[in-house]
Structure 1
Amino acid sequence: MTTQPPEAFQPVLTVFMLVKSLPEWLAIPGDQRHEALARHVEPVLARYQDEVRVRFYDVEFYSANVTDVWIWEARSHQAYQRLVEDLRDTPFWDRYFQIVDILPGVANTYGAKPLAA
């Protein structure tokens, strides 16, 4: 997936996807996990590389409820929705990872207003 300069990518939607790795994923040796990502997830990300970008955060050291936070930024709600539909067709959705919560948001428009000084 190509990295775009920050100024070139202007998302209208940010989604915080809270996920928990499942025992089947944890039972796969590390090198095979990378192969599974390359086989199932990278093609989906490549399809939407101009419309959606993602960052992955590990949080298992700080939370018992979730192991990862996937932060999605999308140029449109439709692009994000299509990406999720495609991900649902992979083993990563509900087989390897439980999607615990999905928190969509937009940039802080209230905070963009100038503060009274």
Structure 2
Amino acid sequence: MTWTIFVTLRATPQWLQQTPQDRETIAAACLAEVMVDDRVTMRFFDAEAFSGVCSDVAVFETTDMVAYYFTMERLRNTALISAPYFEIVAIIPALENGFRLFRRAEQERAA
């Protein structure tokens, strides 16, 4: 089963005061420390033009929630979160088409 976890983030003024080149350097260094487990992938989306709640959304995917947990622990220990350059607004775990998994399990249970 693959979990998708949406992590909404808000950039802080401290992050926004960095030059684009410095932001890239900081992010690359931090993510090199964080994304070390091939059981967890991450995609990153800019949302600031569309939301007043968050500026960015990180989308993690994993089949191993402990591996995801360890990834988040590593992330919290980086400057991205601890400086703080970003604040975590919300963490939303989800199952893609979870209702289908449920129906299939219910059908198997009834059989």
Bin for the TM-score computed over the shorter chain: 0.7 to 0.9
1:35 to 17, 25, 29: 25
Q: TM-score by structure 1 length?
A: 0.80
Structure 1 residue 104 and structure 2 residue 89: aligned?
Answer: no
Partner of 1:21: 11
Q: For the Cα contact (< 8 Å) 2:11–2:86, is it kept in 1?
A: yes
Identify unmatched segments of 5+ residues in structure 1: 1-10
Which of the two has higher C-alpha Rg? Answer: 2
In the TM superposition, what is the alpha-carbon distance from 1:42 to its structure 2 partner?
A: 1.9
Cα deviation for residue 41 of structure 1 reads 1.6
| Distance in 2 between residues matched to 1:64 and 1:89, nearest whole Å | 26
1:63 aligns with 2:51: yes
* Aligned-partner residue type, residue 86 of structure 2: F
Letter in 1 for 2:59: I
CA displacement at 1:107 relative to structure 2: 2.0
Per-residue deviation, 1:26? 0.4
Structure-2 change in CA distance of 1:109 and 1:38 (3 Å)? closer
**Is it true that 1:51 corresponds to 2:46 in the alignment?**
no
Partner of 1:5: none
- 1:93 Cα deviation from its structure 2 partner: 1.3
Is there any run of 5+ residues in structure 2 with no aligned partner, and where? 105-111
| Percentage of matched positions with identical amino acids | 30
Q: TM-score, normalised by structure 2?
A: 0.84
CA distance in 1, matches of 2:79, 2:67: 21
1:40 Cα deviation from its structure 2 partner: 1.6
Moved >3 Å (runs of 4+): 111-114
Q: Higher helix fraction: Structure 1 or Structure 2?
A: 2
